[in-house]
Every structure is written in C-alpha cells, then in structure tokens.
Structure 1
Amino acid sequence: MKRLFNSFLLLSAVAVTSVFTACEDEPDKYKISDGNPTIRYIRPVNVETADSILTGAYMDNNICIVGENLRSITKMLFNDQEAKLVPSLITDNTMIVTVPGQIPGEVFNKIFMVNNDNDTTTYDFKVLVPGPSINNMSNEWAKAGEQATIYGNYFVDDPNTPLTLTINGTKVAIEDYDISHLTFTIPEGMKEGPIEVATVYGKQKAKFYYHDTRGMMFNDFGTYDAGTLSTGLTNHGWHGQKIVSDENSLDGSYLLLGDCDVEDGTWADGNLSFEYWPGDWDGTFTGVNSRLSDLVSFADFANMALKFEVNIPASNPWTNLSMQCIFSGDAQVTLPTANNTFFNGTDYPRGLWTPWSKTGSYDTGGKWVTVTLPFSTFKYKNDGTPAGTPLTADCFTGLTLFVWSGVTSGTTCHPIIRIDNIRAVAY
C-alpha cells in the first residue's frame, strides 16, 4: 500500500490508536484488527433506502460503509477533513460514520483510511457541499452607510466563482466573511428588496427583505402615509406609552418601553406595557382602529414570526423579567371590552423574549438590531411553563407587549427599550 500522507498522518495515528485502546481486563473491548480495510460500497444509514449506492454525500450526513476488515481503520479522512470514528458503530463488515462538516481545503474526492501500521487505503467518494443558507440579518433596516451582517452557513468563496451578495438586484461589496457570516455596508440609495447569497455550490434567497415592509403593523407610530406604508397604528388601550422621534430614531418615531426600575415582581404596566386593542367606542374596526388581521394575513401563522427592531443603550441594560408578546383575538380584548384577564390569565399562550437570561444582561450598545420570534414559540404561560391553550387563527386582531413575569431571577435594572417596525412575516 502507498503511504499517501506524510508526517501529519504519522503523528496523529498514535493518538487515534490510543483512543481505541482499552484495558486488558475488558472482555468486550474494541479490538483493532491487522491488515488493511476493503470498501465494497457505501449506502445510506436509513434502512428504507439501504439498497441505494452512494458515490457522494453532503457534509454532516451519516453514511454506512460496507466492506471487510473495517476494524483495521484507525483514522479516516474525507478529502483533508478527519472524521470521528465511534468504535460502537464499527464491525468488521460495516461502519457508520458522519461525513465531516468542514469545507475541504483540498478536494481529492477520496476517502483515506489509515491502519495501525500507517498504511493508507483510498476509496473514491465525493463530499458534497450544500449551497448557502441564510438565517438572519443583524439589522434588516440598517441605513445607508451602516455596516450590517448576514448570518447563515456555507458562505464559501471560490477563485473561479466568488461569493456574492445582492440586495434588490444590486451587487453589494462583501467586506468580511467566514463560513457562517458576511459583513457589508449598505450602499446609498438602496431600496427595499430581496437578499440573495451565491457561491460556487448554489444560491439562496432570504425569506426576509432588506428594509422589509411586508406584514407591517407598527412603523412610524401614529402616522399614516401610503407612500411609506406607515399604518398609523399606535397606542390603543389603557396605557399611552412614549412615542419618540429623536436622534436615536431608526425610521421616524419609535415606541419606548421602560425608563423605570425593574426587579423581581415588578408590575409597571404604565411604563412597560404597549397595548393595541382594535375597535372604537362606536363599534367600528376601521382605519387606525383596524384589526391587525385586516392589515396582515395570518392564514399561515404556524410558519410566521413576529419581528421588530430594538435599541437598548449600554447605559440602561435589561437584566430582569421577560417581554410577554401576546397576540389577542376579539374574544380576548377589544378597545370597548378592555380588560387584562387575557394576559394576567396565565393559561393564554404567548411568546416570552428574555435576551438577557444567558449572560445576565442585554443591551445593543445603542444600535438597532432585528429580533425574530417565531409564532411556533408562542406557547407559554406568563411564567414560562406550557400554556393550556394553543394559538389559533382568530388570535391575531390585537397585540400587547408587556415586560412582566417570565424569568424573574435577574437583577434590578432601569432599562430603556426602543422598538420600531413591528411586523408579522413568513419564517
């Protein structure tokens, strides 16, 4: 057999062999066999498709190798990426292994198998790299001249087919990237439109748009402008929260929650609760009194998310309680039937946003960032335990945001939470 690899394999073989070595008094220990392996074929792990023969597989996929003397393998590489070998998944005749999830640095289209004597056996096999996937953008409403970042996977640059980003059909210069993110500056004059990333392995359009106005419910609060799709909706309930337009504005006026002390047990709906309850005292549901479901289709709500931009200055971080995100139907509340039983009643489903819980504190450094809360997560009581009733299609005529309850193991804070562009979109 040819010794295809140099000292890289020689040095690592000792370490790999030690992984497989067990104490001598273990009767069922894994034993490395002598000689070299032979691969007859490779098939899927799934029994239903086991008759299929594979000549290649995508990264991170499990495959089943069929052959002889497979327990002689002490190290396996797909191109130049090492696979993890699990002794309990290896017999003399079969081996289940996961194709490494890293992009190959060099492509040989081969599997390299090293035995205990450092001999290498090869088998022709292609590692398939998926096209790019796009998860989210740091700020979907970033202004011209501001940097933004798109997060996802398989952002691969190739000399012959470079990594590219287009927004609304315009190619945008990528300033920094790795496999899971790319950073760029919003060009002057960029308008709302789709986002697409392309690599040598394919292209992908994001489900979200840059400057996304689709599904908009609250934009320039209290202002209606058909030209900018501002809906005119604003506070419409018991409490009139601050609507601010200043040097911190993202797009006209924004909603301000907080600017009060928050600790375990705080109920400060006068500062921390934004309510939009549809309807007017005369029984009409039109214009600025409209049902949200008259502005946005929630027919496919199971595959939608609540989105908004948020800005929390570092001087006033958020460190306690959760934001209750509660969609309500006419059966729960309208302006003429105003009540708090639907959000104080703990069995009604809601989403809980608690971004500070992982680190103990959350702020955005005074920058606007996009928040995405899938409706599939709107299934909790106020305290974070499962709700007894699910969201249904008739639960989307009103909206309440209330910083209260949820996670109450934080510290006392005085948060300033700026919110803009509240929308419901496909996810």
Structure 2
Amino acid sequence: MKKILINRVTHLLFLSMMLIIIMLTSCNIDDDLNGAPVVTEVRNYAAAPNDTLVNKLVPGQWIVLKGSNLKNAVKIAFNGVSIPFDVGLFSDTYAVVQLPYVIPFPSVPQNQLNTIEVVTASGSTIFNINIVAGPPSLAGISNENPVEGEIVTVFGTNLFLISELSFGGTAITDYVTKDDGTAISFPVSNTTSGPLKIITASGEILTTFNVNDLTTGMLCNFDTIGSMAWGTSTSNNDPDFPGNHGWYPILDTGILNAGNGAWWEGGRSINIENGSEWVSAADLGLDIDQFVLKFELNVPGDWNGISMFIVRDFNWDFLARFEPWKLSGTKTANFTTKGKWATVTIPLTEFRTKKDGIDGTGNSATSLSELFGSKKKTINFLAVNTSDKSSTTGLRAGIDNIRIVKIK
C-alpha cells in the first residue's frame, strides 16, 4: 500500500510540475504574441560603424527602428503618413523602413508632428523624434518661356515654408502651394530674363539657367535665331496654339499604319536650316549630363502611338525618342497639353544607339565629343510609327524655342 501511495504522489508531483511548465510557457507565448510594440532608438540604415544613432529625420531616409515586439507590425507612420514596408526586413527587435518621400508638413496635425507610430495587433506606440523637411528640389517648370498673365507651375519636392520666390529675377508674392510640397503655381506679371529662385526653411533652389530666355543656347526659335529649311507648315497665329512667342512649326499627321517610318511625307518633319553648335567647342570636355535639350511643345488634342525622333544631321547613330504617351511596360495613355505650351526637357544621355534593330534604344553617348564631334550640327524632328500596330491617334503639335541648356 505504501508503495502505491508513493507512486501516486510521485505522479501527482510530476503532473503538477508539467502543468506549471505549460502555464509558464503559455504565459511567455502570450507575452510574445500580445506584447505592445516598443521603440527605444532610431539608427542609420548603414553598415557599422555608420549605423549611428540619429535624432533628426528627413523624408525618404532609410532607418532602423530598434525596440521589441516589432515583427508583427501592421502600420508604421511618420508624422501621420503611413508607409509601405517589407516585414522580411523585420525581427522582433528591429525594423528597417524608409520614410515617405512626401510629408505634407503644413497640414500635419500638431499632435502628429515629429512622431513615429508603430501599430501591431497587440497595441501601438509613439516615438518622438525630430522630422524635418529636406532641402527643396526642382523637377521641372511647366513653361520656362511663358507670356504675361500665364499661370506657371514649378514641380519638385519640399516646396513649402517659402520665404522667397522669384521667377526671371522678378519677385513673386501671389502664389499657391500644394500641401505636400510638390508644386507651386503663380501668374507671371512680366517676362524678364533671369533664374528661378526659391528659398524655403530648409534650403534654396537657384537655377543655373535663365527662364524667359529666347537666345542662350538657342538652336532655333523660328524668329530671330535659326530657321526651318523644309518640312511641315509654320504659323504665328493658329487658334489651336495660343500663348506663343512669334513663329513655330506644326507637326500634323493623321493615324499612321504599323511600320510607317516615312517621316519625309507632308506634315511629319521639322528640318532646321544650316548647322549650329549644340555646345561650344570650349565645353566639349564637360560631362554630358550637364546639358539637356529643351523646347516648348503644344499638343491641343490627343497623342498616342506616334514616336517623335530627334536626330542631328540626319545621322541615326544617336537619336532621342520622345514618346510621352508611353507608360510602364506596354501600357499607353493619350497625351495632351490641352492647348498650352509646355517645356520639354530631354537629357543628352537620352540620345542612344540602335539596339536589336530599334533606333534610339541602345547605349547612350558617353561624352559630348562622341555625340557632336567638332562640327556644327543641324537638328531634325521626325514623326514616325515603327511599331507593329497602327497608332491610336494622329499627332498635331506645335514646337518652338529648340535649345541646349547647361543645367549644372
């Protein structure tokens, strides 16, 4: 009997110990699953020794959040702006994330300024850290050569908290900004020549080129510099193209069948008379990415499926394809400027060789000398359809003020 009792007591003790172990393990699992996230510090996303602590963040920056219970995050927000993230870059104690490129600082509620919010199914946390706007950057200007009274829009990032704005050397005080800092719009009161200048709380933009400049680097403005040798018709008062500066040629073609590259047909080419230096001989040794081709474009209707080839000297070893109707992959969408003149910027690195039999899709020119040589070059704009299907639309477009601009 005594032996039986001892065995039973032993079994009871064993069962009790197992129950305690199971309960403790369960508690630990519950703690892991139900613990609210905690952020204790923020570090640079870089290899040691550059993975330093940071106390100030800017939009677009990559960082590492350190803490606990971070692996199962369902939301991470900076100044209230949620970001996409890859949980493959997370563990329980760290999370690698990138701040949003655009934070609408002027419209961020006071209680969300300078905050990082992390949310999991078990709770949330707020970590306070300075988040400041980065320096302003310029992406483009809707029209660098507007007429008086025209509304001009400047595109970029961090275009808010503005203390000074001038266009062509003229101060602008009447302007409208987007809350997310990606655009500023204002009416032009005069057309003096000078740079665009924007000073914000976090930096300054000052262009190396002048707006309202119809002479510097000009290959042809169809009035006082250069002229068209042959090609399509020209006008200075077509009602489809208001807001013009003098004369301009008009590319005008209907729908083009598949493989129709006959650019010499009526309305399909602009061929500038005589040659001119695209860049001066003194500048041929500068980096090619310091220069761009610019022109003003007006497309009053829809444009889809016709390529604009830009060629120098009818030499097809390097050419640029201008196809603003192309989206990602094989997708397209009708393009239009809605009857307004818009500035087009094409880096000279977009002048490319032929690849797999397709013009303008191969290697970029690596230098100005390779692209131009030392001789004067003409320029040609050609409307073609080299695809295996008919164009969706025709092309009717005004082009003016063809120029080479040094941008840095």
Give the one of 225, 231, 234 matched to 2:227: 234
Give distance in 1, aligned partners of 2:282 and 2:385: 29
Q: Residue in 1 aligned with 2:257? A: 263
Assess if the C-alpha contact under 8 Å between 1:274 and 1:400 holds in 2.
yes
Assess if the C-alpha contact under 8 Å between 1:321 and 1:408 holds in 2.
no
Assess if the C-alpha contact under 8 Å between 1:35 and 1:115 holds in 2.
no
Give distance in 2, aligned partners of 1:297 and 1:305: 13
- SS of the counterpart of 1:183? strand
For residues 116-265 of structure 1, what are the structure 2 equivalents within 5 Å?
116-118=121-123, 120-157=124-161, 162=162, 164-167=164-167, 168-175=169-176, 177-179=178-180, 180-187=182-189, 189-213=190-214, 214-219=216-221, 221=222, 223=223, 230-231=224-225, 233-236=226-229, 239-247=230-238, 248=241, 250-259=244-253, 262-265=256-259
Provide closer, same or farther for how the CA distance between residues 416 and 34 of structure 1 changes in structure 2, counting only shifts above 3 A: closer
For residues 276-295 of structure 1, what are the structure 2 equivalents within 5 Å?
276=272, 278=274, 290-294=276-280
Give distance in 2, aligned partners of 1:368 and 1:275: 21
Assess if the C-alpha contact under 8 Å between 2:324 and 2:335 holds in 1.
yes
Instruction: Please state how far the C-alpha of 1:81 moved relative to its aligned partner.
Output: 3.1
Q: Residue in 1 aligned with 2:404? A: 424
Matched, 1:387 2:362: yes
For residues 67-82 of structure 1, what are the structure 2 equivalents within 5 Å?
67-71=67-71, 75-82=75-82
Q: Residue in 2 aligned with 1:376? A: 349
Instruction: Please state how far the C-alpha of 1:48 moved relative to its aligned partner.
Output: 4.6
Provide closer, same or farther for how the CA distance between residues 375 and 385 of structure 1 changes in structure 2, counting only shifts above 3 A: closer
Assess if the C-alpha contact under 8 Å between 1:33 and 1:71 holds in 2.
no
**CA displacement 1:370-393 (0-9 Å, x = unmatched):** 111111221143835633673642
Provide closer, same or farther for how the CA distance between residues 241 and 199 of structure 1 changes in structure 2, counting only shifts above 3 A: same
Provide closer, same or farther for how the CA distance between residues 361 and 35 of structure 1 changes in structure 2, counting only shifts above 3 A: closer
Matched, 1:109 2:111: no
* Percent sequence identity over aligned pairs: 22
Assess if the C-alpha contact under 8 Å between 1:32 and 1:72 holds in 2.
no
Gaps of 5+ in 2: 1-30
Q: 1:369 corresponds to which letter in structure 2?
A: A
Q: 1:196 corresponds to which letter in structure 2?
A: K
Assess if the C-alpha contact under 8 Å between 1:36 and 1:73 holds in 2.
no
- SS of the counterpart of 1:209? coil
Instruction: Please state how far the C-alpha of 1:369 moved relative to its aligned partner.
Output: 1.3
Assess if the C-alpha contact under 8 Å between 2:32 and 2:69 holds in 1.
no
TM-score, normalised by the number of residues in structure 2: 0.74
Assess if the C-alpha contact under 8 Å between 1:349 and 1:391 holds in 2.
no
Matched, 1:365 2:338: yes
Assess if the C-alpha contact under 8 Å between 1:255 and 1:419 holds in 2.
yes
Give distance in 2, aligned partners of 1:112 and 1:417: 49
Q: Residue in 1 aligned with 2:299? A: 312
Instruction: Please state how far the C-alpha of 1:40 moved relative to its aligned partner.
Output: 4.3
Root-mean-square deviation (CA), in Å? 3.2
Assess if the C-alpha contact under 8 Å between 2:38 and 2:67 holds in 1.
yes
* Higher CA-based Rg: 2
Q: 2:294 corresponds to which letter in structure 1?
A: K
- SS of the counterpart of 1:269? coil
Q: Residue in 2 aligned with 1:281? A: none
Give distance in 1, aligned partners of 2:204 and 2:363: 42
Assess if the C-alpha contact under 8 Å between 2:298 and 2:397 holds in 1.
yes
Q: 2:139 corresponds to which letter in structure 1?
A: N
- SS of the counterpart of 1:325? strand
Assess if the C-alpha contact under 8 Å between 2:219 and 2:276 holds in 1.
no
TM-score, normalised by the number of residues in structure 1: 0.71
For residues 36-75 of structure 1, what are the structure 2 equivalents within 5 Å?
36-71=36-71, 75=75
For residues 386-425 of structure 1, what are the structure 2 equivalents within 5 Å?
386-387=361-362, 390=365, 392-394=367-369, 395-396=371-372, 397-398=376-377, 399-407=379-387, 409-411=389-391, 413-425=393-405
Instruction: Please state how far the C-alpha of 1:135 moved relative to its aligned partner.
Output: 0.9
Provide closer, same or farther for how the CA distance between residues 322 and 312 of structure 1 changes in structure 2, counting only shifts above 3 A: same
Q: 1:256 corresponds to which letter in structure 2?
A: I
Assess if the C-alpha contact under 8 Å between 2:217 and 2:279 holds in 1.
no
**CA displacement 1:108-164 (0-9 Å, x = unmatched):** 43434445443x54433222221322211111111001112111122224xxxx565
Give distance in 2, aligned partners of 1:88 and 1:43: 18
Q: Residue in 2 aligned with 1:351? A: 320
Q: 1:386 corresponds to which letter in structure 2?
A: T
Provide closer, same or farther for how the CA distance between residues 364 and 296 of structure 1 changes in structure 2, counting only shifts above 3 A: farther
